[in-house]
Every structure is written in C-alpha cells, then in structure tokens.
A and B are shown apart, each in its own frame.
Chain A
C-alpha cells in the first residue's frame, strides 16, 4: 500500500501560518484560564479503554493493546481523563483544572468532519450550585470572545427540566425516548400526534420553540408542577442573573430543548454557536455523576471549545491573520551575517541566517518567494 504519502482520513497537518496562529490562540486561552485560577494539566493521550467504556460508544474510540494485551484507546475528550485524574487524588476541593489537547474520534461519518482536532477546556470539580455553573459558562463565553468569535450565540438548557417534566406528564420509558428524539429534532409533528392533553402538548411544543431569556422561564413556570423541573428553571434563572453581571446576557438564550447532547450531563448544559461553521464551537455542562464511575462522589462542571472549529470560523469570517514568521534575512559575508543576525535576535527581531552562500540576487529572489520583508546583504572585508 502506498499510504506513506498521506495523512489518515480525518487528520491533517497544521501548515506554518495556521499553526502559528493556532499557537497564539492557545496562548491567549492558556493565559485566560490561568487568570481565572485554573491550573493546566496534561493527560497522557492514551487511556485504558475501561476509562471511557461507560461514556463513549465503542465505535468512536481508536483502540489498540499494550504489551500485556490490555485494551487501550486514544484520548476522546478532555473531561473524562480529568475526572479520572481528579477522582484518584485527595486534593482539597474545589479543584480548578484546564487543558489544551488534541482529541481523537474514530467513526465520524463522512469526509470533512475531523477525527483529530484540538480542544481547550476547563473543569471545576467539587463545586455545585448555580454560581459554579455560571463561572464555567462565563469562561466559555470569555474564551470565544478572546479568540475573536464576537458573533456569538449561546444556548443554555437544563437536563433536569425534561426529566422532571416527563414525571409530571407521566411519560413511560418508550414515550420518553420518542418525545426526547422529537424535542431534539424540533419535530413538532411527532409531538402533535402524541396521546396527551392539548395543554401538555403545548408545553412540549413550547420547549421546542424556546429561545428567549427570562420570558421563556416565566412562560414555562406556571405549567410546571414537578419540583425537579421547577428547580431546573430556578437554576437557569440564577445563571442568567450572573450572566447579566458579566455583561454576557446579550449572548445567551434559554433552550429547554437542549437535550440531545451526551448522556452524562446532570444539570445545566450549554452550547455556543457562531456563523460559518455548522457545528457548535463550544459546549459544556454539569456532570455530577461521572466521578462515581471512578469511585468518588464529586460534583463537577466544565466546558470545552474546539480550536479547530474556531479557526475555521475565524477564517471564513475574515478574522484570520496568519502569524508572521521571520521578517529579516541576513546573508553575504558569513562572519558578519552571523553577528548581525544574532544582534537582531537579541533585540527581539526574528531573523533568518543564510547558510547556503546565496548571492545578493539569489537572496533577493529567495526572500521574495518566502515573503521575508527585509534583506540584509553583508559585504566582506573591512566595514
């Protein structure tokens, strides 16, 4: 097989200009996370399959074995390895951790969806309540703004709301799955056909159409009797209050139909959208039960933002500025060229040193081809 010329399906090289731009974005997020008290950690990138077994479909993981035949897999997301790490320690809680890593997802349908991509994220572990939820949501919005994604819309939902409402409406297992799928698909037709009272159908239809802020909650509250569902609405309301203090309320809308995402969420869930990319650029939520899998009971909330999608969006929104490489090339007399290049570098100017003995014309042509602005050709002998 002549595969040696290609990258595997779903994986790409990061070319120089883009790579430098990406590193710059990473640096901005790293600093942001640090400023908010989140310590960066690095997980190995390879985990035992058992770590992910309960959370991710088998087809989605790249798997192989270690020397003893134990099943391993590549890092699928940031949250699960961090939860594994945090559960295995006895650190004083709450713990604030961040990561910027490559993720690997097998089984992505069709071409174009990346199997390898970079995510940055944070996890706030051992902290429950709306204030902690809001800190993570605010940091997600801050991250997107920091990257330059200013055309931003964020949907906030609460998985306990639908759970509570299902109890209130007396939905059974099979119907719950059907209603859940209908709400996820914004499929009003299926809801209309359900064997429920007019009022209950209207409540479900309101979920699929929710998209306001306080008004959405106020309209829903009188229809809700289940305590869990009420508490969920209260949680969202408190989060909105705190978003207002950050000045982020303009980005946020309530979407009670946001229930299609990963099963492990137990409370607030959110997704961030921007123009020119068909997928949410960030997502997150509360996942209080995940650490139980790792033998500890620890409330947790977190988010991740895809740098890969963010860069695509920035490029398509004409907000991409390829980071500049070296701006000066020094050639000619080698002894003097070294000295000059070193002097330039010492004062913070990135400089290329010609090591191939180009003539002045060759150096000129080379610089032009490489997009280097300034040429310094050193004459030999005494200055």
Chain B
C-alpha cells in the first residue's frame, strides 16, 4: 500500500489525470466528498489531501510515501526528501518584483526591505546568491501591496502571467527560480517500498514523455 500526499486544489486534479494516463486506477481519489483520506485497497493506493505547504512534512516523516508539490514549497520548507520527477505542472517563476522604475537598479538600494510569503527562499537568495543582507517582512497574501504602500521596496513572489504586477505598475526585476510541481519520495520508503515506487516513477515518466511528444 502506497500513501500519496496530494496538494489540495487544481494540482491534485492534474496529478490524478497524470496518474490515470500512467495506468493507475484513481477513481477512489476522484470521489467528491469531505473525506481527507481516500483509499483503494484493490489498487493498493491511499490518497491524502493536504495543504500544499504541509505535503513535504507528511512525506519527510513518512506519514506519506510519495507527495506531489510545487518546487516553491520544497524550496521554502527545505525538507530531506528525494525529488525524483519534474511533473511540469503549474509552471511559473519565483521572482523579485518591484516598481518598474527599479529595473536594473535593484543593486543600488541599500538595506532593502523585502515583502514575501517565502522568507526562507528570500533569505537564501539574497544572502546565498546575491551576498547581501536584507530585512524580510513576512506577509500572508496580496504581497504586491507591500511596495505600493511603502511597507517594502521589493517583493519575492510567484509570477505566472505577471498581470497583477503590471496592472499595479510593478515588474519582474530578477528571477530567483523556475517553479513546477515535483514528485517527492520519502527516503525510507524509497528503500522499503522500492517494488511499488520505482515502477510508479517510470510509469509517470513515460506518461510525461508521451505528453511532450
């Protein structure tokens, strides 16, 4: 029996589509109910629906063997996992954004204040990559408000189409990382349940390659 942690929302549905394409029976997980654990004894699969940012935790502790979660969450949580496949779902970018006037002038502002939902990614980027200290302001949503209200000079956030940014006079200043959904595996499960997990990885990989060609 494999326990699979899905990120609640659109990503869960997309993941199930992919699994179906790879030949797995996922009818149990499609069931519309308020159940949080959906089990299919015959298929040997148990699905749990978790908040995306909790998926890496379930998998790291072995409460789930496998998880599907965005790279943004993985970078932010920094868990000890095997990250075996890029599922290519939910593609977007993690960016530094701010007033369009700051384009190519980001390095000129000293002691930046950065608003973000991702304090760890922000710290790793500014301290690790750009070698500078910044003041991080942790926010929980509508991060674009921060530079508009003067709470922060710039933000670090996910950018998909960039429309919210442009409509508010903001622009992408730098790209921190490319984001998409990843298949993650618990490090113990990879050994103890190799007979179930390894074939699943290859089947999913094949389904992905089919989709690309």
B78 in the interface (beta carbon within 8 A) = yes
Which chain B positions have C-beta within 8 A of A211?
Answer: 191, 194
> Contacts of B77 on A, CB cut-off 8 Å?
109
Q: Does B192 contact A (CB under 8 A)?
A: yes
Asked whether, in the complex, the Cβ of A153 is within 8 Å of the Cβ of B63, the reply is no
Q: Which of B59, B60, B61, B81 contacts A185 (CB 8 A)?
A: B81
Question: How near does chain A come to B11, taking the closest CB pair, in angstroms?
Answer: 18
Contacts of B85 in A (CB 8 A): 188-189
B112 at the interface (CB under 8 A from A): no
Q: Which DSSP category, helix, strand, loop or mixed, fits chain B's interface?
A: mixed
Selected contact of A277 from candidates B62, B81, B83, B84, CB within 8 Å: B62
Q: Does A48 contact B (CB under 8 A)?
A: no
The residue in A186, A260, A275 that gathers the most chain B C-beta atoms within 10 A of its C-beta is A186
Q: Which residue of A lies closest to B54 (CB)?
A: A110
Contact pattern, A 279-296, Cβ under 8 Å of B = 1, otherwise 0: 110000000000000000
Binary CB contact string for chain B from 174 to 212 against chain A (1 if under 8 A, 0 otherwise): 000000000001111111101000000000000000000
A110: chain B residues at CB < 8 Å are: 57
For B84, what are the chain A residues with a Cβ–Cβ distance below 8 Å? 185-188
Could you say which interface size class chain B belongs to? 20 to 34
A161 within 8 Å of B (CB atoms): no
Contacts of A275 in B (CB 8 A): 192
Q: Which of A153, A186, A273, A274 contacts B83 (CB 8 A)?
A: A186
Q: B39 in the interface, Cβ–Cβ < 8 Å?
A: no
The answer, among A185, A186, A188, A278, for a CB contact under 8 Å with B188, is A278
Let me know if B188 and A280 touch, CB within 8 A.
Answer: yes
Known: A109-B78, A153-B191, A273-B191. A186 touches B62 (CB 8 A): no
One digit per residue, 1 when the CB lies within 8 angstroms of any chain A CB and 0 when it does not, for chain B 38-57 equals: 00000000000000000001
Give a binary string over A104-115; 1 marks a CB under 8 Å from any B CB, 0 the rest. 000001101100
- What interface size band does chain A fall in? 20 to 34
Q: Tell me if A186 and B190 are in contact (CB < 8 A).
A: yes
- Chain A residues, Cβ within 8 Å of B83: 185-187
Q: A185-B83, A186-B82 are in contact. Are A274 and B186 (CB under 8 A)?
A: no
Chain A, Cβ-Cβ closest to B64: A278
Smallest Cβ distance from B56 to chain A, in angstroms? 10
User: For residue A155, which residues in chain B have a CB less than 8 angstroms away from its CB?
Assistant: 191
Which of chain B's residues have a CB closer than 8 A to the CB of A277?
A: 62, 188
Contacts of B60 in A (CB 8 A): 278
Interface residues of A in 84-108 (CB under 8 A from B): none
A278 contact from B61, B78, B86, Cβ within 8 A = B61
Which residues 7-60 of B sit at the A interface, judged by CB distance below 8 A? 57, 59-60
What residues of chain A lie closer than 8 Å to B91, measured between beta carbons? Answer: none
Q: Nearest residue in B to A110 (C-beta to C-beta)?
A: B57
Q: Which residues of B contact A260 (CB under 8 A)?
A: 80
Query: From A152, which residue of chain B is reached at the shortest CB distance?
Result: B192
Kindly state the separation between the CA atoms of A275 and B193 in the bound complex, as whole angstroms.
9
How close is B141's CB to chain A, nearest CB, in angstroms?
A: 22
Q: How far is the CB of B213 from chain A (nearest CB, A)?
A: 16
The 21 listed contacts between A and B (C-beta, < 8 Å) are: A109-B79, A110-B57, A185-B81, A185-B84, A186-B82, A186-B84, A186-B185, A188-B85, A189-B85, A211-B191, A260-B80, A273-B192, A274-B192, A277-B62, A278-B59, A278-B60, A278-B61, A278-B62, A278-B187, A279-B61, A279-B188
Write the residues of chain B forming the contact surface with A, with a CB cutoff of 8 angstroms: 57, 59-63, 77-86, 185-192, 194
Given pairs A109-B79, A110-B57, A185-B83, 17 additional interface contacts (CB within 8 A): A185-B82, A185-B84, A186-B82, A186-B185, A186-B190, A187-B83, A187-B84, A188-B84, A189-B86, A253-B191, A273-B188, A274-B188, A274-B192, A276-B62, A278-B186, A280-B187, A280-B188
Query: Which 3 residue pairs spanning A and B have beta carbons closest together?
Result: A278-B62, A186-B82, A185-B83
